[in-house]
Amino acid sequence: MQPLRAIRNKVKKVNMVKPFKALRYNTRYFRNPGQFLCWPYDIIDQAKQEEFYRKNPYNVIRMDLGKIKRFDSKNDNRYTRSKQYLKEWKKKSILKTEKGFSMYCYELKYALPFFKEVKTIRGFIALVKLQDYKERRILPHEDVLAKPLEDRFQLTVTTNTQFSPIYALYHDKKNIIDNMLEKCINENDPEIDYQEFKDLHHKFWRVSDSGIIKKIQKVMKKKLIYIADGHHRYHTMLNYRNYYKKKHNIPKKVDHPVDYIMMFLVNMDHQGLSLLPTHRILYNLGDMKLKALLSHIKDYFQLEVYNFSNTKEEKEARKKWYEDLKAKGHRMHAFGIYIKNMKRYFLLTLRNTQAYLKMSRVKKSKDWKRLDVNIIHTLLIDYILHLTKKDISNQIYIDYTKDFKEAIDKVKRNKHQVAIIQNSPRVREAIKIANHNERMPQKTTYFYPKVITGMVIYEMEKDKIPLKSSRFFSKLQKKNKTRL
């Protein structure tokens, strides 16, 4: 792996972090912050969408992930309705723009599912200038899917607004920013204090001190930033920036609000970071593909079988199977498989790592090839099932979930046929892949907990962010008669 320092030294450009005038919910209208907050769009299914809709008629879900209606048209659809809600709620003062430029401290206290240990994540929300991936200043570690990209782009084009920050990491062993945030927290009460669940608590502070903001900007200047969660939104903003500037004849080098993205930035040395696995659930596999899976799986993996014949035995078998999967995952490449209508669970362990590395045809680093998810995609999904990258990108055969119980239940009750259960990846693995300028398959990492949506909103307008090129905007407004 290329040393972190070497990558920093190669790159002359810096990461620009800025405060902004956020659009925020007027809390005097709400007894509980949970009335207007919602989860990130990519983990909301239809049932959860309905739940957030019922919470409050002004919940941010209506703007960030509005319902699709039967008679939607070009002029009346989930995106145009989002724009209309945004306009109406500002007019009613449900949403209000902050008077001054600020950054925001955000803290999450949580316990992982099945664990009692309480952890804390703390970081700050600010605007970060977009960098093309080739600049090697903001580094991704995952590929993206086609459908979410299209959805997020349409929402952004229609509203010119970012409704949620992405989650990103930086490296700071000296904890300079963490210490400043600690001071802010100790001296001020949180503006949002929301107990979402028994094991998940959100707190939120505004940071308006110009001295602290300048120090944060100075520290972040030469820091590499790693995208943890939000690859689709980052990719969307790269596309939108290019689209917007071309449409409005804005030179690429001119600093503009569309050059920035909201980020929740966390020190990767923070002890509170947690990664959950994202399990694969396969469907629409024909009989031939299922037979191929059963026939050839032994070519690459050693199999242990956990049989059951009734509900009681099934619970015991599942518990033992999952415990063994976790235990073996510490020292070898281990995976769980459950196939529809089969009264058994399978535990797979890779037969020969060196043989696998030699047979892998992709021109990738050994770190990339040794990832559990890439072993699954190479051997099971590519070699045995012959699913293409296009199939995967379009989600024709694969669904995803972080909950292994949900994966099993979907195979039992729904159209799904095979659940592939994985162990958690490690943060250092994601960082290694990013440093190699490589990508994990889509939906590999699940940083937990997710950053909640609705605390701050960024309207990409010139008065919402301190810019140096204000004269250019005045001339452009007169020329195009367009609100930027």
Report the pLDDT value the prediction gives residue 64, as an integer from 0 to 100.
98
Residues 95-131: pLDDT tens digits?
999 999 999 999 999 998 766 789 999 999 999 999 9
CA distance 261 to 258: 8
Report the pLDDT value the prediction gives residue 119, as an integer from 0 to 100.
94
Phi, psi of 267 (to 5 degrees): -65, 125
**pLDDT beneath 50, residues of the chain:** 1-3, 6-9, 11, 470-474, 476-477, 479-484
DSSP line for 374-417: HHIIIIIIIIIT---HHHHHTTSSEEEES-HHHHHHHHHHSS--
Q: End-to-end distance of the chain based on CA atoms, in angstroms?
A: 43
Q: In terms of Cα–Cα distance, which of 310, 435, 305 is closest to 10?
A: 435
The b-or-e profile of 298-316 (16+ CB within 10 A means b, else e) is eebbeebebebeeeeebee
CA distance 287 to 289: 6
pTM for the predicted model, two decimal places: 0.86
CA distance 440 to 55: 36
Residues 406-448: pLDDT tens digits?
999 999 987 899 999 999 888 888 999 999 999 888 888 889 9
Whats the size of the chain, residue-wise? 484
